[in-house]
Structure 1
């Protein structure tokens, strides 16, 4: 973050300066929301959650080196060397500050949402654009009401384009986030069942994702959509800006077909776009990787990259940690660590990647998928059935909901199925499923934290 003054802060957050320092030229060089990780000279913003109130930590944050703070509470214990700005709501003030700060930089942004593949698309787009531009991108899971504003506050004048992921679990959130960003390019990767418990139906999920559309800049704006998603294809001819479609469909503007791969580290595909036709190596596994590749190609062409630059960028792609990371171990053992999160669509994509590997022993260690509501039993059973259809040799189903997955797998003919009600039970099973010439997939919703099982697999290999 580039320095801003107290006077500028007051303007940005529509705040009132309280007691303490009245120096309007005092500057801050960053924003912190965690009092345990304060950077000297930063602004501390105390956020309020269901189980915590950051206002209780203002004193400790200032003692740790913060230059001042926002507060929604009137105080009496002011320090003369610190400033205190009162606002109505600290989370809203963080949003207002990020929007004000972003407007200091006249650079384009790409905003990405969707049920599955947001992070992979973000990483692929950033890899491609980084061939030509200095890119600011979302790191980790900073894709929500707090994380996205904090990402924008990392901007500096070396950045030439921003690539931002936007997550949601209820209506209104994509509108809230995309209204801050006002992207030149919007991306909706697909419409799936993620968060269906809260939104009630795929139709409502579709409506929530489409909140992005009116916030895309009209002048020079573009939206990139999935040509193989039946809901997104209904947007043909019905978007406020130019739309391009990516996928396997014959009428897609950006098309790809998988032509091969080594089953270990990469796939090959034939890519056709308005500006190029060539064979490209994607350094990742799974046919679903054609979608982020095509999306990145569309975004790259929009920003003037040549076919060679786009291919170079795709080759530089590195997935975010625990997002289908390929780990090679001795004994011809491959671990596919996709443990960060899961929903029914991403489960099937990961299982397909596992099925396409060349190992003789294919193991899926799969845990519960959350926020599926009354659909959960059938959707877990459906994943189990898909394991059988794709010829997976072994399932380790972890968690209470995954009992439905285990039964679905047994009914579908998966030869070896273990049901483990919790991770401790799974840890006892793992030594029995690791063998030479094997590929092992690990995947579940974030709350399952199955990376613990990945860690154990590394010690067993």
Structure 2
């Protein structure tokens, strides 16, 4: 980690020193006292069920040389003589402020990715496309919020050329604050759907919140968007460049043609503005990943990566788990897409299931959260989509079984739907009714923990 002096840190977090220690030999930043190591900067955060300010004594005892607090919950005599304590107004904002200071020291290109769906898949594809030419860091796991993003920034050093950072949000101003810390050179918006509409009330507001990713753009920065999405198709900007990709939008700067969706991947031709055509084959599934790949290809072009270099990088693609993982067992095939869910990603996963060669196509779906007043209609739409796209059996679990059933069930398939409120009953039914040769999609919002269903299916599929 490059160095900031104490005065810079205090000034950057708008804080004041309330305990003066005798050491400034820090290494990195930590927010969890269970992981504190000697030389760390400890930033105390508050959540619904915890208050990091209560653990400052422990952080100091474990070797923290700086503790940043927004409440004084310690006795000064309990603080080790090497520890400096800085008081700020809000700990979470201080974490972002320190990340902003640290980012300013780095000679590195940052690509920031947001969107209603596809952020993680696009992050993986962008990192792969750049990997044969550059040393690339990408967001690990779900570190895409106002705590995870600054911690990702602290992982960067002079060994990296490019960082690919994911930005999620639930409310206005969250991406604004993350963009302030990260100061991206290139931003990507995958799409604008209905995720988080409960909080933001309309898709237009969701678009405004996502566009905060460009709040610190200046001349020379680039925004890359999916022009097949209705709210992204006509974006314009005076200060920075807007690049568009698409399949159906004829005006897109970078288009995909001759798309072939296979059981083990996708193949398509890329056509750019100069009418140059190049064929790509990727080990990812679904038409939606053609769009995600186009976003990655356009980003790589912007960073002067040649097509042949991108192809080499794509061959080494490292995919994040629980995103359309195909697990072929001795009896049936599982599509594990249990990490998260929205209307758009549900439909994309159903498209993947539709293209698999199997005896029966079975979808096990759960609740999609943060849809507010649109919840019933959006779950109904997914049920309708499953019916229209040849899903043979639909099993649902959660709060919107009635909506799924209304969309899916007709006279011809009434016996092919089953809804449950109880996990154990659902799993028992699933294990008793999945047949050899079936393909089974498992998908729901993260808090439903549908990986438990995947684990039970895997155990029965050895």
Give the 3 Å change call, closer, same or farther, for CA 342–444 of structure 1 in structure 2. Answer: same
Aligned residue for 1:418? 418
User: Which 4+ residue blocks in structure 1 deviate beyond 6 angstroms?
Assistant: none
Determine if the alignment matches structure 1 residue 54 to structure 2 residue 60: no
Task: Tell me how far apart the structure 2 counterparts of residues 324 and 284 of structure 1 sit (CA, whole Å).
Answer: 8
C-alpha distance after superposition, 1:329-350 (max 9, x if no partner)? 123x221111111111111111
SS at match of 2:106: coil
Superposition pairs of residues 219-230 of structure 1, within 5 angstroms? 220-230=220-230
C-alpha distance after superposition, 1:58-115 (max 9, x if no partner)? 2222233333311123443332232212222211111110000000012221111111
Aligned residue for 2:271? 272
Aligned residue for 2:288? 288
Contact 1:47 1:53 in 2 (8 A): yes
Contact 1:385 1:412 in 2 (8 A): no
Question: Which moved further from structure 2: 298-307 or 85-94?
Answer: 85-94
Aligned residue for 1:100? 101
Contact 2:29 2:43 in 1 (8 A): yes
Residue 5 of structure 1, CA deviation: 4.8
Contact 2:175 2:209 in 1 (8 A): yes
Superposition pairs of residues 248-397 of structure 1, within 5 angstroms? 248=247, 249-257=249-257, 259-263=259-263, 265-274=264-273, 276-331=276-331, 333-397=332-396
User: Gaps spanning 5+ residues in structure 1: where?
Assistant: none
Determine if the alignment matches structure 1 residue 112 to structure 2 residue 113: yes
Task: Tell me how far apart the structure 1 counterparts of residues 12 and 214 of structure 2 sit (CA, whole Å).
Answer: 26
C-alpha distance after superposition, 1:267-321 (max 9, x if no partner)? 2122222464122111011111111110011011000111101122223223211
Task: Tell me how far apart the structure 2 counterparts of residues 27 and 13 of structure 1 sit (CA, whole Å).
Answer: 19
Aligned Cα RMSD in Å? Answer: 1.8
Give the 3 Å change call, closer, same or farther, for CA 412–214 of structure 1 in structure 2. Answer: farther
Contact 1:338 1:442 in 2 (8 A): yes
Task: Tell me how far apart the structure 1 counterparts of residues 67 and 60 of structure 2 sit (CA, whole Å).
Answer: 8
Give the 3 Å change call, closer, same or farther, for CA 436–258 of structure 1 in structure 2. Answer: farther
Contact 2:61 2:80 in 1 (8 A): no
Contact 2:261 2:286 in 1 (8 A): no
Determine if the alignment matches structure 1 residue 231 to structure 2 residue 231: yes
Task: Tell me how far apart the structure 1 counterparts of residues 233 and 240 of structure 2 sit (CA, whole Å).
Answer: 15
SS at match of 2:113: strand
SS at match of 1:187: strand
Residue 137 of structure 1, CA deviation: 1.4
Task: Tell me how far apart the structure 1 counterparts of residues 364 and 233 of structure 2 sit (CA, whole Å).
Answer: 34
Give the 3 Å change call, closer, same or farther, for CA 413–49 of structure 1 in structure 2. Answer: farther
Task: Tell me how far apart the structure 1 counterparts of residues 259 and 136 of structure 2 sit (CA, whole Å).
Answer: 31
SS at match of 2:409: helix
SS at match of 2:215: helix
Task: Tell me how far apart the structure 2 counterparts of residues 336 and 142 of structure 1 sit (CA, whole Å).
Answer: 24
Superposition pairs of residues 399-418 of structure 1, within 5 angstroms? 399-411=398-410, 413-414=412-413, 416-418=416-418
SS at match of 2:379: helix
Contact 2:266 2:286 in 1 (8 A): yes
Task: Tell me how far apart the structure 2 counterparts of residues 213 and 102 of structure 1 sit (CA, whole Å).
Answer: 17
Residue 214 of structure 1, CA deviation: 3.4
Residue 209 of structure 1, CA deviation: 1.3
Task: Tell me how far apart the structure 2 counterparts of residues 112 and 428 of structure 1 sit (CA, whole Å).
Answer: 40
Task: Tell me how far apart the structure 2 counterparts of residues 261 and 377 of structure 1 sit (CA, whole Å).
Answer: 31
Aligned residue for 1:124? 125
Determine if the alignment matches structure 1 residue 65 to structure 2 residue 66: no
User: Gaps spanning 5+ residues in structure 2: where?
Assistant: none
Task: Tell me how far apart the structure 2 counterparts of residues 32 and 413 of structure 1 sit (CA, whole Å).
Answer: 57
Task: Tell me how far apart the structure 2 counterparts of residues 49 and 185 of structure 1 sit (CA, whole Å).
Answer: 32
Contact 1:72 1:90 in 2 (8 A): yes
Task: Tell me how far apart the structure 2 counterparts of residues 148 and 197 of structure 1 sit (CA, whole Å).
Answer: 24
Residue 127 of structure 1, CA deviation: 0.9
Contact 2:107 2:158 in 1 (8 A): no
Aligned residue for 1:453? 453
